[in-house]
């Protein structure tokens, strides 16, 4: 009888530990998803600022405005379940649009000098800084999550319930050569 009680207590302790660890893993994964959602929200704001610039560009150069609209049409909306690759692809499209916009501004000095252009560039810069900050927070959150799912003994529960290591945002050549908005 005592053996059954000891086994029952051990099973209860293990069950409580598994449930507690599982809930901790869910909480950490939700922090990662929330962090990606924050990045997505900042990226949407950055694109909104760029769309305002595209509208202003149309006043100066209809063809270039249409080209920029085609680039923005290629992008897909990001959300909290977006992957690092999805965000990197979006950043590539944003970089293309900004490159074309800079080229248009060089060809149309009146556009570059306009209040709309100046204000939009300030907004794009503000959102770009917020995207960078959100990425740093995301990477910190992923570090904490990955540490939990790879550490003993929580890695046992993580393996049982298919919790996977999340990818980080990494610095790339393209990001280090990004133009200054001002």
* Predicted confidence (pLDDT) at residue 175 exceeds the cutoff of 70: no
According to CATH, the topology of domain 2-176 is: de novo design (two linked rop proteins) (1.20.1440)
Ramachandran area for residue 140 (φ above 0: left; ψ -120 to 50: alpha; else beta): alpha
> What is the tens place of the pLDDT at every residue in 28-50?
999 999 999 999 999 998 888 88
* Cβ-defined contacts of 110-113 (< 8 Å, 24+): 110/60, 111/56, 111/57, 111/59, 111/60, 111/61
pLDDT-derived band at 160 (thresholds 50, 70, 90) equals very high
- CB-based contacts of 167: which residues, under 8 Å, 6+ apart? 83, 84, 85, 142
Say what the pLDDT of residue 2 is.
93
Average pLDDT of the chain, as a whole number:
86
Number of H helices, E strands in the chain: 7, 0
| 104 and 57 Cβ atoms separated by less than 8 Å | yes
Decide if pLDDT at 11 tops 90: yes
**Of 24, 4, 22, nearest in space to 14 by CA:** 22
Residue 6 has pLDDT above 50, yes or no: yes
Q: What pLDDT, in 10s, does the model give residues 106-141?
A: 877 777 777 778 888 888 889 999 999 999 999 999
Cβ atoms of 43 and 138 within 8 Å: the answer is no
How far from 6 is each of 17, 20, 108, 151, CA to CA, in Å?
Answer: 16, 21, 82, 28
C-alpha span between 44 and 121 (Å, rounded) = 15
Rounded to two decimals, the pTM is 0.79
Instruction: Return the DSSP state at 153.
Output: T
Tokens of 64: 């270039």
Q: Among 5-19, 67-81, 115-129, 136-150, which stretch is predicted with the lowest mean pLDDT?
A: 67-81
Domain ranges of the chain: 2-176
């Amino acid at each position: 009888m005592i053996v059954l009680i000891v086994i029952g207590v051990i099973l209860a302790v293990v069950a409580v530990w598994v449930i507690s660890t599982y809930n901790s893993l869910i909480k950490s994964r939700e922090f990662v998803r929330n962090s990606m959602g924050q990045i997505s929200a900042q990226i949407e704001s950055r694109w909104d600022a760029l769309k305002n610039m595209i509208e202003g560009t149309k006043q100066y150069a209809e063809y270039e405005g249409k080209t920029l609209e085609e680039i923005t049409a290629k992008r897909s909306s990001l959300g909290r379940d977006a992957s690092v690759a999805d965000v990197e692809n979006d950043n590539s499209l944003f970089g293309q649009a900004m490159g074309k916009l800079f080229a248009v501004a060089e060809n149309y000095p009146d556009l570059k000098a306009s209040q709309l252009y100046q204000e939009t560039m300030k907004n794009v810069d503000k959102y770009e800084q917020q995207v960078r900050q959100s990425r740093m927070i995301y990477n910190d959150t992923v570090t904490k999550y990955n540490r939990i799912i790879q550490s003993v003994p929580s890695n046992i529960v993580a393996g049982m319930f298919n919790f996977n290591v999340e990818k980080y945002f990494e610095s790339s050549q393209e990001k280090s050569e990004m133009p200054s908005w001002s």
